[in-house]
Amino acid sequence: MSALQSVASVCDDDRFAAIEQVADKAASYWRSIAEAAYRGDRLTVEVHCRQVAAVTRAAFETVRQLSAEAGGKETAT
């Protein structure tokens, strides 16, 4: 593995870690949305829905960066 490939791999690892953190936040927001909906708390539902949207956009941007650096090549899992 070349030095450039090693750096790219570290960057990918960091980006996947960031996606994991964002996913954890989104899961927490969804749980809060469910609880607020159960209570009939419209304001909290709206706030957390905005937060879910923001973290989802952040995750998509990170995935886009991964794809761009891989030359747009997608991998199936």
The 10s digit of each residue's pLDDT in 40-58 is 999 999 999 999 999 999 9
Answering whether pTM is above 0.85, one says no
> Token digits for 57?
């956009």
**Spatial separation of the C-alpha atoms in residues 41 and 16, rounded to whole Å:** 34
Q: What is the pLDDT of residue 36?
A: 98
Q: Which amino acid is at 74?
A: E
What lies within 8 Å, CB to CB, of 52 at 6+ separation is: 26, 29, 30, 33
The top-scoring range by mean pLDDT among 21-25, 42-46, 67-71 is: 42-46
Angle between helices 42-69 and 3-39 (to 10 degrees): 160
**Spatial separation of the C-alpha atoms in residues 6 and 65, rounded to whole Å:** 17
